Every structure is written in C-alpha cells, then in structure tokens.
Amino acid sequence: MGRGAAAREDPVKVLVTGGSGFLGREICRRLSARGDVVSSLCRRPSTALERLGVRQHLGDLADAAAVSRAVAGCDAVVHNAALAGVSGPPRPYWATNVVGTRQVIGQCRAHGVRTLLYTSTASVVFRPGGLRGVDESLPVAPRHLAAYPATKARAEALVLAAHGPELATVSLRPHIVWGPGDPHFVPALARAVRAGLLPMPGDGGNLVDTTHVRTAAHAHLLALDGLRRSPQAVGGRAYFIGQDDPRPLREIVRHFLRAAGVDARWCAVPPRLATAGAAAGDALLRAVRSTRTHALSRFLVAELLHPHHFDLTAARRDLGFEPPIGFDAGVAELVRSTPDDSEETPCRTPTTPSAPS
C-alpha cells in the first residue's frame, strides 16, 4: 500500500460526483471501507451505493442548487463525473465536462471545501502518432480529434488553475479503466465481434497501457490524502496513472475477450482504410446532427492504431503510487468474475462516467 492509503487520519467527509459509475463506485467503496463519510451526486439512485451506506444526492452537474446541496458540509470533493465518448457534437460534452466542472469549483469555494480531486484522462495529451513513455511535461494536445478529450482538457485546466491557499486541487489521468463489472470497454469489444472475427484497424502491435479499476481507485485515495497532507507538494499538478505494463493492443484485446467467454480472431483493417472510414463517419454524423457518443470516429481509430503508454515516475515520487494489482492478476480476476459483479447497470447520464478514459 502507498503511504497515503496506509496512514489514516480522522474520517473525512468526501463527496464523489458520479459515484454510481464504474470507477466512482469503486472509489466510494474504498473510502467507505476505511471509515470516511461518503456521499455521491448522481441523477438516479444506486442500490450499490445504498448498500455501502453512501448518502446519495440526486441531481445534475448543470444544476447549481443540486451541486451546492451535495457539496455543503464536505471536507473534500472527488469530481469523477463526466460525459465520455469517442464521437458526438461538442455541446453536450461542454455542458457536462466544462460547465459542470465550473459548478463544482464554484460550490467548493462557496462552501469552504479545501480539497478538490479531479478525474481527468490521459486522452487530454493524445495526438496522432501516439505517446511513448511520456511524462507530465508533455503539454495537452494543441488539437483534439473529438469533443471528449477537448472538453476534459479544458476542465482539467480549470481545476488546476483553481489551485491556491483556499482550495487545493490535483488531477489524475487514468487510461482505459477496466476490471470486474466493467460496463464499457470489454462489452464494447464483445459486441464488435462478427462470426468469430474482430475487425480492428492495424495489426494490434502498438503498445498500450491500461488501468485496472482498483488501481485507479487506489490512486485517487493516495492523491486525496496527499493533497490534504501536503497541498504545496502535489497541488496544481496532473498525474498519469496506469498499470505501468504496456502490452500490444492485440494481446490486451485477446485477454479481455477470453475473459468474457468470447473466442475471436483479430481481423486487421488497413490503417488508411480505417482512417478514411472514420473520417467519413465523422462527417456523416455531423451532417445528420447525430448525438451518438460511441460511433466510429477518427479519435477512436487513432487510439486503436497508435501506442499510448506513460512514465509514472511523478505519481510514484509524489503520491507513493504503485499499482495494487498487476495486469495478469487482474485478467485472472476478470475470468473468475460474473455479470453480477457489476452490481447494477450504471445510469448513462451526464453525471456517470463511461469509456474511454
């Protein structure tokens, strides 16, 4: 265990936005298990959170009054909620990811909350050509291929700019969060299989790092404790989080599909054809004003074609971070899990995060 998670102080009153989502629920579970007083903001009630004893505030990030009620009386906020996707028009993403984050920051200040942890995404720095062992000195991408990473980058900038003596802030950047109960990544792969074939751009040899849900939640607790203990040391910074075990995408996909009981053969689509098809798909979605968030897009194809893995030195140095579970152990756990491990289907709302991350 990292030093932040092992050394407990007095119980902390923590609000987790998007607590009914895949990662949000694991964060709530771990906070509750160590004795913190946990509440969540989501649009629909969650039976899983009820079982954990988490107080639930129902409301939308766009509703200032709802956010105010949820934030009031808290010592810290973990802002985990987001609208995620690989396609779709900018406006819904902006309303949830940017305007919603402004609401959270404003209500933290209004209620004297001194600690704000933001769940960002490694996609804020992604650019065509990929990322090979990059660290946090790499600036966010000057141009994004989709509204999701663009708005997450803007929201992260707002959070980090808000850091100061009255409100300490930090941002975590997990990438491809998976594990038992994953309602996003693994099911999407399984749905893409046709007649035993999985059409994918390229040969899958690009190295990709991922983040087990327990690893991501563990990092959140470390960052929360580190920010409360030493705001000058970690505040105002962003940190990459992952398994630190990049593997060929083809291998990752094979493990995940087999864990889901799906036997499929990789069917390589030529990169130029996949990219051209994605560009055409983006154009068509814009023409028909589609609001689909998980359609074929240039962003999705670029992430599937190129490497993306990260240098986690800063998180190790400043947060005491180490992945609590390895990739192979996580896959074995995934094989043993059942559909019931998801506990419930997260509500697909602007306050519930979904892949990608």
pLDDT, residue 209, reads 98
Instruction: Specify the pLDDT at position 8.
Output: 53
Res. 345: pLDDT tops 50: no
Lookup result for tokens 């989501």 = 42
Residue 139: pLDDT over 80: yes
Q: What is the pLDDT at residue 1?
A: 42
Place of tokens 């850091």: 163
* Residue with more model confidence, 143 or 3: 143
Q: Which pairs from 265-269 meet CB under 8 Å and 24+ separation?
A: 265/196, 265/197, 265/198, 266/198, 266/200, 266/203, 266/204, 267/197, 267/198, 267/199, 267/200, 268/200, 268/201, 268/202, 268/203, 268/204, 269/199, 269/200, 269/201, 269/202
Average pLDDT of the residues in 53-72: 96
Per-residue pLDDT of 194-237, as tens digits, reads 999 999 999 999 999 999 999 999 999 999 999 999 999 999 99
Strands 168-173 and 237-240: parallel
Q: Say yes or no to pLDDT of 352 above 50.
A: no
Dist. CA 127–CA 307, nearest whole Å: 10
Question: Phi, psi (5° rounding) for residue 262?
Answer: -115, 125
Weakest mean pLDDT among 63-77, 88-102, 272-286, 327-341: 327-341
User: Which pLDDT score, from 0 to 100, does residue 144 have?
Assistant: 96
Is the model's pLDDT at 338 over the cut of 70?
no
Average pLDDT over residues 85-103: 96
Give CA separation, 186 vs 16, 176, 255, 275, 283, in Å: 25, 10, 10, 23, 27
Average pLDDT, the chain: 92
Q: State mean pLDDT over 169-179.
A: 97
Q: What is the pLDDT of residue 97?
A: 97
Which among 245, 242, 256 is positioned nearest to 175, based on CA atoms? 242
Residues 28, 40: contact at Cβ < 8 Å? yes
* pTM attached to this predicted model: 0.92
In 3D space, the residue among 356, 355, 357, 352 whose CA is nearest the CA of residue 40 turns out to be 352
Least confident of 32-36, 49-53, 55-59, 182-186: 182-186
**Under a CB-based contact definition with an 8 Å cutoff, are residues 118 and 79 in contact?**
yes
For residues 317-343, average pLDDT:
85
Would you list the DSSP string of 311-328?
Answer: --HHHHHHH----SS-HH
Give all domains of the chain, ordered by start, each with its CATH number.
3-182+209-246+308-342 (3.40.50.720)
163: left (phi over 0), alpha (psi -120 to 50) or beta: beta
Q: With 50 as the cut, is the pLDDT of residue 349 above it?
A: no
In angstroms, the CA 158 to CA 89 distance is 21
Contact, 139 vs 175, CB < 8 A? no
CA atoms 217, 218, 221, 223: torsion sign: negative
pLDDT of 117 > 80? The answer is yes
- Record the tokens describing residue 204, joined without a space: 């899958």
60: nearest Cα among 39, 89, 78, 82: 82
Residues in contact with 173: Cβ distance below 8 Å, sequence separation at least 6, in sequence order: 120, 121, 122, 124, 125, 238, 239, 240, 241, 310
Buried residues in 156-177 as b, exposed as e (16+ CB within 10 A)? bbbbbebbeeebbbbbbbbbbb
Residue 128, pLDDT score: 84
Q: Could you read off the pLDDT of 20-53 as tens digits, one per residue?
A: 999 999 999 999 999 999 999 998 999 999 999 9
pLDDT at residue 357 above 70?
Answer: no
pLDDT at 267: 96
The yes-or-no verdict on residue 140 having pLDDT over 90 is yes
In three-state secondary structure terms, 266 is strand
- pLDDT > 90: what percent of the chain? 85
Lowest mean pLDDT among 2-6, 82-86, 100-104, 326-330: 2-6
Q: Which of 185-194, 220-229, 270-279 has the lowest mean pLDDT?
A: 185-194
Which residue in 93, 118, 148, 239 is the catalytic one? Answer: 148
pLDDT of res. 11? 86
The CA distance from 275 to 267, in Å, is 16
Identify whether 148 is a catalytic site residue: yes
Residue of 218, 200, 193 lying closest to 315 (CA atoms): 218
Whether residue 3 is predicted with pLDDT greater than 80 in this model: the reply is: no
CA distance 178 to 357: 10
8-state DSSP, 99: I
Name the one residue in this structure whose structure tokens are 């490497």. Answer: 307
- Going from the C-alpha of 259 to that of each of 95, 247, 332, the distances in angstroms are 36, 17, 8
